[in-house]
Structure 1
Amino acid sequence: MKKYIGLFTLFQCLVFFAAAQDSSTVVKKGYIPTARIFELLYVPFDVPAGTTEIRVKESYDQMNVNVLNMGVYDSKGDQGITGFRGWSGGAKKEFFITEVAASTGYIAGKITPGTWNVLVYPSGIAPAGLNWMLEITLISGRHQKTFTARPAARQINAVPGWYRGDLHMHSLHSDGRRTVEELVAEAKEKKLDYIISTEHNTNAANLNWGKYNSGNLLIINGEEVTSTRYGHWNAIGLDTKTLIDWRYAPADHVIGKQIEKVHHDGGLAIINHPFYDKGDKTFKFDEQEFDGIEIWNGEWNALNAIALKWWDDLLRKGIRKIAIGASDTHKSSGSPNNLGSPQTVIYAQGLAKDAILEGLKRGKAYIAATHNVALQFTLEYAGKTVGMGEQLPENGTGKAIVHLTVTGCKNTVMTLIGNKGTMASRKIPADTETIHLTIDRDSSSYIRIEIRKEDQAMVALTNPVWL
């Protein structure tokens, strides 16, 4: 996938010196034919010693069709992640980096001399191709104290219980329309216990979440690893400075190594919206490498229903994957992706990063459309009671009793589902209902719950209890 500027572009490189002696501007131009869509193009430029600020401005034609994503790597190199200094995808047309500050999505710090590279990545090209231009301004000045990361708190309390949160969201650090301050304020207003930061292909937001530490909202680091060509996935539970690379294809057979990095931090790898476009499976990596699947993204719709069926088919084949729901929110209102809708409710040993991730890893979680929806779902057999994500200790026969208490589900229908399909169905006429069902112990390898409105819109669904 990797290409440098001279390999398939016609380009010009011009240097302009500004009126002040401490700055210069390099202009680079090129052309990308439509056949080169989704190929990486590295545009090198030299940074002299003494540079304290870099400004890059991108422009290209036919922006209503063409899409040119952008990021930058410093003199440590573009192989791997050591030289990574930021990514904004198609959300920005210009950025700056200084020793103490940077545009959202980019990382402040020492401007090391040597060859840097702007990475451009076309994810949309008109039939006539894409003409592009980069204006790169280098400014020298007085050196300042370099940027220092402020990590998010890892724990708020050690109280066991059910905690509500959103695992997928975007701010101005990628293609969102909110500041991180606005995102935090809205999460608190909606009474979320935790949020997970998942900006596209950058850890810039994760370096500053410590500014927003509080006693009632846990912020967990993450990243949406985004390859337009091969699909998106969330690396959740990352350390502050961890970055997961996205520049590879399924044929490179490196996805396992990337997920190992996530697991090294105690995190999980979650497939995002696997049927994102017109019902076709847009996720191209091997799903068996991943820990879970985002089967409910934003407002319930037909694409979520397809993702749910795919997950259920995997369960029936004995392939266990955690089911999560998340908003994928980008703005505060006016879209089907509102923060906290849906939300993943996790039983954890405390409101702490490790506890939340451990609860999710074990499948002790359900998905709720709103904050008002709550479930208690257990299975009783031979004197033992197990819940979501848990498994009965041995094979057996006889009767087992399903216990379900729901709140906030008035005028809905509950369906009990096993590996052979629907096992039982009950109407829920009141806001709070308790249901007890008797099933044969050996009738299914697992059971799970769905609660829907009359129009089939999902209100809640659970991870399985394993028989």
Structure 2
Amino acid sequence: MHSLVSSGGELTPEQLAAAARATGLDFIATTEHNTAETHAAWGPQAGDDLLVILGQEVTTGTGHWLALGIDPGQVVDWRYRVRDNVIGDHLAQVRRAGGLCVAAHPHAPYPSGVFMYPYRDFDVVEVWNGRWSSDLPWNADNESALAEWGRSLATGLDDGQWRPAMGNSDAHLEGQLGTPHTVVLADELSTEAILSGIRAGRTWIAESAAIDLSLEVCAGPRRAGIGERLDTCGEPVSVRVAVQGVPAGTVTFHTDRGRARREPLPAGGVLEWVTSAGESAFVRVEVRHPSGHMAALTNPVTLT
């Protein structure tokens, strides 16, 4: 998210913190374009009920990326393009600070917004960006990013190098914050715990705080959740998804074979599906409104 320091931003850190609390967010990440100017302003805005993660949106000539969890006052260089072959040095700088590197809005509709760097260099891929679709928080650019990421999962899971998906509001204006946002399955509200959860893919993406979702897979007594791996021991796998806050729509189950199953969202919001590790290398879920716009989506559960 961006304050008035960033191009196109209109809100102060105080206004953004108030909006985060009103929206029901537990944490936010401040990512001004190519500056750490507001880092010092965020200390008074944080509290036990709101974690502020310091970051930067690194706006290079051939794509933007997010440096999350950097040191106070740290600025990451942005003056290069993919042909300069220096991106690895700057990613390493962020990781040395304990930070996370996110490929941002890979299909953004403006010059320099289209992401040209290899995903393999990054920790996470942003598949849902809310800035350019404030009226409807899902658009063709997000659809393209999701499809590209989804196709990469099968090979990435095989070698243990898959990149989790995340969603961000990329808020610049009033009313954008939290649409969408990333829900992290973490044990505590700390920068380390949140970034670890994102890095591990223990996350799902929500259109708003009104939506709740859970995904669990079971094989006999063994269970796993989003971002985890389940050793099935050759037994059938029961996949259970529960959704709240979406009045109507569809749930789709996706595997390494693509969309494997599509069901109407039932009144109780609970669906079950049976598969196996032989049929499905992983399972992830999408929940869509009747219009086809996304309501929520998960990272995968890996089956072995």
Question: Secondary structure of the equivalent of 1:380?
Answer: strand
Question: Secondary structure of the equivalent of 1:331?
Answer: coil
In the other structure, the counterpart of 2:256 is 419
The structure with more helix, counted as a fraction of residues:
2
Letter in 2 for 1:407: Q
| Total equivalences in the alignment | 292
The structure with more strand, counted as a fraction of residues:
1
In the other structure, the counterpart of 1:322 is 164
Within 5 Å, give how 1:44-63 maps onto structure 2. Answer: none
Q: 1:265 is matched with which residue: 97, 104, 108?
A: 97
Cα separation, partners in 2 of 1:279 and 1:180, compared to 1, 3 Å:
closer
Letter in 2 for 1:413: T
In the other structure, the counterpart of 1:464 is 300
In the other structure, the counterpart of 2:115 is 283
Residue-by-residue CA offset, 1:23-55 (whole Å, 9 max, x unaligned):
xxxxxxxxxxxxxxxxxxxxxxxxxxxxxxxxx
In the other structure, the counterpart of 2:247 is 410
Contact 1:403 1:434 survives alignment (8 Å): yes
Letter in 1 for 2:292: Q
Letter in 1 for 2:35: T
Within 5 Å, give how 1:24-63 maps onto structure 2. Answer: none
Unpaired runs of 5+ residues, structure 2, are 131-136
Within 5 Å, give how 1:118-137 maps onto structure 2. Answer: none
TM-score, with length taken from structure 2? 0.92
Cα separation, partners in 2 of 1:206 and 1:446, compared to 1, 3 Å:
same
RMSD, aligned α-carbons: 1.7
Letter in 2 for 1:239: D
* 2:218 is the counterpart of 1:380: yes
* 2:18 is the counterpart of 1:180: no
Contact 1:346 1:360 survives alignment (8 Å): yes
* 2:201 is the counterpart of 1:369: no
Unpaired runs of 5+ residues, structure 1, are 1-168
* 2:191 is the counterpart of 1:353: yes
Cα separation, partners in 2 of 1:251 and 1:266, compared to 1, 3 Å:
same
In the other structure, the counterpart of 1:214 is 47
CA distance in structure 1 between the partners assigned to 2:57 and 2:110 by the alignment = 21
- Give the C-alpha shift of residue 172 in structure 1: 1.3
- Give the C-alpha shift of residue 286 in structure 1: 2.1
Residue-by-residue CA offset, 1:328-367 (whole Å, 9 max, x unaligned):
111104xxxx100101000111011101111111100000
Structure 1 moving runs of 4+ over 4 Å: 278-281
CA distance in structure 2 between the partners assigned to 1:277 and 1:405 by the alignment = 34
Residue-by-residue CA offset, 1:83-116 (whole Å, 9 max, x unaligned):
xxxxxxxxxxxxxxxxxxxxxxxxxxxxxxxxxx
In the other structure, the counterpart of 1:400 is 237
Q: 1:233 is matched with which residue: 65, 68, 93?
A: 65
Question: Which shifted more, 239-248 or 291-300?
Answer: 239-248
In the other structure, the counterpart of 2:134 is none
Contact 1:223 1:236 survives alignment (8 Å): yes
CA distance in structure 1 between the partners assigned to 2:302 and 2:249 by the alignment = 25
Question: Secondary structure of the equivalent of 2:230?
Answer: coil
- Give the C-alpha shift of residue 396 in structure 1: 4.2
In the other structure, the counterpart of 2:275 is 439
